[in-house]
Amino acid sequence: MRGAGAADDLRRLAEALEGRAPEEVLAAAAARHPGRIALACSFGPEDCLLVDVIARARLPVDVFTLDTGYLFPETYQLWRDLEARYGLTIRAERPAAPPADAAAPPPWEVDADGCCDLRKVRPLRSALSRLGAWVTGIRRDQTPERANARAVEWDGRFGLEKVNPLTGWTSQQVWDHLRSQGVPVNPLHARGYPSIGCAPCTSPVRPGEDPRAGRWRGSEKRECGLHLRPQSGKT
- Annotated catalytic residues are 224
At closest approach, how far in Å is the CB of 102 from ligand SF4? 14
CA angle (128 as vertex; 118, 67 as ends), nearest 5: 45
CB of 126 or CB of 181, closer to ligand SF4: 126
At closest approach, how far in Å is the CB of 192 from ligand SF4? 18
At closest approach, how far in Å is the CB of 69 from ligand SF4? 8
CB of 120 or CB of 146, closer to ligand SF4: 120
At closest approach, how far in Å is the CB of 43 from ligand SF4? 13
Does 226 sit near ligand SF4 (CB under 6 A)?
A: no
Q: Which stretch binds ligand SF4 (CB under 6 A): 14-22, 28-36, 114-122, 174-182?
A: 114-122
Number of residues counted as binding ligand SF4 (CB under 6 A): 13
Name the pairing type of β-strands 160-163 and 133-135.
parallel
Does 72 sit near ligand SF4 (CB under 6 A)?
A: no
Does 198 sit near ligand SF4 (CB under 6 A)?
A: yes
Count of other CB atoms within 10 angstroms of residue 65: 22
* 79 in Cβ contact with 88 (< 8 Å): no
At closest approach, how far in Å is the CB of 227 from ligand SF4? 14
Nearest Cα neighbor of 64 from 84, 31, 88, 46 is 88
Report the distance separating Cα 136 and Cα 140, nearest Å: 12
* 207 in Cβ contact with 199 (< 8 Å): no
Report the distance separating Cα 176 and Cα 178, nearest Å: 6
CB of 87 or CB of 220, closer to ligand SF4: 220
Does 119 sit near ligand SF4 (CB under 6 A)?
A: yes
Does 116 sit near ligand SF4 (CB under 6 A)?
A: yes
Does 124 sit near ligand SF4 (CB under 6 A)?
A: no
* 94 in Cβ contact with 67 (< 8 Å): yes
* 138 in Cβ contact with 146 (< 8 Å): yes
Report the distance separating Cα 203 and Cα 159, nearest Å: 33
Give the sign of the dihedral formed by CA 160, CA 224, CA 26, CA 59. Answer: positive
Q: Which stretch binds ligand SF4 (CB under 6 A): 48-56, 80-88, 110-118, 176-184?
A: 110-118
Instruction: Summarize as ranges the residues that interact with ligand SF4 (CB under 6 A).
Output: 68, 70, 108, 112, 115-116, 119-120, 197-198, 200-201, 224
